[in-house]
């Protein structure tokens, strides 16, 4: 619990002074009047100001929100509004404001980094763990739908081709979404490979990869298989290795005994 004691000419002024010390609004804190103000006698003697004790129970989500406001302010975003939504194991902090979209970063990397830091701050001194999630413009739900569609699509592709498919590196939260989506496709499975920032999901058939197809002497990876066949003759050559037809010498006409091949032709007189 955080608390502060403020003084002032009136109870309200003393309460506002204590709230300023805690950095909270007056409606966010509880207060206790320690001393009522007393006016001076004849305006000259005695008199005491009001004294008020203001206290705020430690709230991990609020601590995270205050931290984020400070970080975003240093990034040039001073009008960011943060709505805290309680969840089963923590809280969702929804950020709104002008030109805040760039805080998401490439595929949510900046948003994930801020979420990680806010979670560390929120759980720094507490005994129990409070999970802090950040969202901007419903980005989390949109990203989840995209990953679910990707997981199912790649699972169907692995069944169609019989090959494993590796996805890009993802954080643990996004990998869990992919694994859950793959489980909805019968015959497909998924697992994680790699270390640290390179850890990624691989999707493949439950029965494993199919062997490479070899049909009619064709290997899809190595190309045509010769299998002892002779190479094709060069262009213009005849089968059997003979020289090209146009380069052959005409053969002499076949002879039968001493008779000429053709009879003698005589003209009639």
Q: For position 186, what pLDDT does the model report?
A: 95
At 226-259, the pLDDT tens digits run 444 444 445 554 555 555 544 545 554 444 444 4
Q: Which of 60, 82, 62 is nearest to 72 (CA)?
A: 82
60-137 with 141-205: one CATH topology? no
Q: How far apart are CA 34 and CA 74, in angstroms?
A: 38
Instruction: Break the chain into its structural domains and give their ranges.
Output: 2-56, 60-137, 141-205
Q: Is 50 within 8 Å of 11 (Cβ atoms)?
A: yes
Partners of residue 204 on adjacent β-strands? 189
Would you list the DSSP string of 52-115? EEEEE---HHHHHHHHHHHHHHHTT--S-EEEEEE-SSEEEEEEE-TT-GGGS-GGGHHHHHHH
Segment 37-64 shows an average pLDDT of 81
At 181-201, the pLDDT tens digits run 999 999 999 999 999 889 999
Residue the block writes with tokens 């989840």: 144
Q: For position 115, what pLDDT does the model report?
A: 93
Helix, strand, coil: what percent of the chain each, to 5? 35, 25, 40
Q: For position 46, what pLDDT does the model report?
A: 66
Q: Which of 84, 81, 42, 40 is nearest to 64 (CA)?
A: 84
Length of the chain equals 269
Q: For position 47, what pLDDT does the model report?
A: 76
Measure the CA angle with vertex 9, ends 4 and 11; round to 5°: 55
More confidently predicted of 247 and 67: 67
Predicted confidence (pLDDT) at residue 35 exceeds the cutoff of 60: yes
More confidently predicted of 91 and 43: 91
Provide the terminal-to-terminal Cα distance of the chain, rounded to the nearest Å: 146
Q: How far apart are CA 74 and CA 76, in angstroms?
A: 5
- Enter the CATH code of domain 60-137: 3.30.300.20
CATH: 3.30.1370.50, 3.40.50.720, 3.40.50.300, 3.30.450.20. Which one for 141-205? 3.30.1370.50
């Amino acid at each position: 619990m955080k608390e502060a004691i403020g003084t002032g000419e009136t109870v309200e002024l003393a309460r506002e002074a204590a709230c300023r010390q805690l950095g909270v609004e007056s409606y966010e804190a509880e207060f206790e009047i320690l001393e009522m103000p007393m006016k001076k006698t004849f305006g000259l003697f005695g008199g005491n100001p009001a004294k008020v004790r203001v206290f705020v129970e430690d709230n991990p989500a609020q601590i995270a929100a205050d931290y984020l406001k400070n970080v975003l302010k240093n990034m040039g975003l001073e009008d960011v509004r943060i709505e805290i939504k309680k969840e089963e194991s923590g809280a969702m902090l929804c950020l709104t404001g002008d030109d805040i979209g760039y805080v998401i970063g490439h595929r949510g990397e900046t948003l994930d980094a801020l979420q990680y830091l806010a979670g560390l701050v929120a759980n720094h001194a507490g005994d129990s763990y409070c999970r802090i999630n950040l969202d901007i413009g419903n980005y989390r739900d949109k990203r989840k739908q995209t990953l679910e569609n990707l997981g199912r699509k790649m699972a169907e592709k692995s069944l169609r081709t019989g090959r494993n498919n590796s996805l890009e590196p993802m954080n643990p939260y996004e990998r869990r979404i992919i694994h859950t989506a793959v489980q909805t496709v019968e015959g497909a499975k998924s697992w994680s490979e790699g270390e640290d920032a390179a850890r990624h999901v691989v999707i493949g058939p439950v029965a494993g990869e199919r062997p490479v197809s070899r049909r009619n002497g064709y290997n899809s990876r190595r190309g045509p298989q010769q299998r002892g066949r002779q190479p094709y003759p060069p262009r213009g050559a005849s089968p059997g290795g003979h020289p090209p037809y146009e380069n052959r010498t005409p053969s002499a006409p076949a002879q039968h005994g001493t008779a000429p091949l053709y009879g003698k032709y005589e003209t009639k007189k």
